[in-house]
């Protein structure tokens, strides 16, 4: 098959490209390198079944042509990361909404199925943990920039469902919960690679807030497995799925685990979020997915636990490789 991967030079996208190429498929990558890196895919660029276009999903004519030449589209391109969204709110909104509309419109025109990656941020301030796919979206005030990302991804989902209903587009939506692993950058608010980088350098591990906020981390390999299972299931089209782990951990506990597994002498310090992020940041207490819908359809269960994930991330940083910016 020939796949189009938007955002294919990013963390998750480059892992997806590697898996598709290693399985013998043809892959076209579209990425503007705003948060991705050529280093993530350079080893594949000499292969005849790989094409790279350095451009944006806002380029509607290019998106149209690349979709036409593909059999299936994985749409991962987006402005991501809390810090990036807070620093560049206009770019975040335009790329995430207008760019996604370009992809959806082109897939509709050429009758190409696609998988659209969304986010756990969709659930906003909802406290009904664990989150089910039909849970209410509770977004914060528009005066806090932090919520613009969740709102843009919600609009992406509304658009996708609208195209599915009105134009019969075959689309699957996945809400990713804290996908991590080798190759993820510590930039833009990504907590695990930041902790690992700090620990290996003997620097203090900086926890924002009191460290009691909880998250569930999923290894990127497991995330890709879930996405592939969904893409190959006819019953997945027209549906939305949580993709994550249910192994809940506080950020404070995560910092201690990183210290333990790196054997680092680093201290753990707690900083008020306002010391790090610009005005508009607001953190959430818990992020736990209900993955029963995904498991029921595909049988998916994560294979790697949190210790495995942290160990893999540490090994990656110790290898001296440079993650995507």
**Annotated catalytic residue 163:** no
Residue 130 main-chain phi, psi, to 5 deg: -75, 150
Residue spans of beta strands (DSSP E) within the chain: 2-6, 26-31, 50-54, 72-75, 114-119, 171-176, 179-180, 205-208, 214-216, 218-219, 240-243, 248-250, 268-271
179 phi and psi, to 5 degrees?
-80, 125
Q: What tokens does 52 get?
A: 């790279």
CA proximity to 62, closest of 72, 71, 52, 49: 52
One of 149, 163, 188, 277 is an active-site residue; which one? 149
Do 179 and 12 contact (CB within 8 A), yes or no?
yes
167's CB contacts (< 8 A; 6+ apart) are 108
> Which contiguous run of DSSP H or E holds residue 116?
strand 114-119
Looking at the annotation, which residues are catalytic?
149
């Amino acid at each position: 098959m020939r796949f189009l991967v938007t955002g294919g030079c990013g963390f998750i996208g480059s892992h997806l490209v590697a898996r598709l190429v290693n399985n013998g498929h043809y892959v076209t990558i579209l990425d503007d390198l705003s948060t991705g890196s050529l280093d993530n895919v350079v080893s594949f660029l000499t292969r005849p079944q790989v094409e790279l276009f350095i451009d944006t999903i806002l380029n509607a004519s290019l998106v149209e042509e690349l979709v036409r030449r593909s059999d299936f589209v994985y749409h991962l391109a987006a402005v991501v990361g809390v810090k990036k969204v807070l620093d560049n709110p206009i770019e975040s909104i335009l790329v995430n909404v207008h760019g996604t509309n370009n992809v959806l419109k082109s897939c509709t025109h050429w009758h190409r199925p696609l998988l659209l990656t969304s986010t756990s941020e969709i659930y906003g301030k909802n406290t009904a943990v664990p989150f089910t796919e039909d849970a209410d979206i509770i977004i914060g005030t528009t005066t806090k920039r932090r919520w613009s990302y969740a709102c843009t991804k919600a609009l992406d989902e509304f658009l996708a469902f609208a195209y599915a209903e009105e134009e019969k587009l075959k689309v699957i939506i996945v809400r990713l919960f804290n996908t991590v692993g080798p190759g993820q950058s510590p930039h833009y608010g990504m907590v695990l690679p930041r902790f690992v980088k700090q620990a290996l350098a003997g620097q203090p591990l900086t926890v924002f807030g009191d460290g009691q906020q909880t998250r569930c981390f999923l290894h990127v390999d497991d995330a890709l497995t879930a996405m592939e299972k969904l893409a190959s299931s006819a019953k997945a089209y027209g549906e939305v799925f949580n993709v994550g782990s249910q192994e809940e951990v506080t950020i404070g506990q995560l910092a201690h685990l990183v210290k333990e597994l790196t054997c680092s002498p680093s201290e753990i310090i707690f900083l008020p979020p306002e010391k790090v992020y610009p005005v508009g940041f607001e953190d959430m207490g818990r992020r736990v997915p209900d993955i029963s819908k995904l498991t029921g359809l595909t049988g998916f269960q994560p294979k790697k636990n949190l210790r495995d994930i942290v160990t893999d991330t540490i090994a990656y940083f110790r290898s001296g490789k440079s993650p995507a910016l």
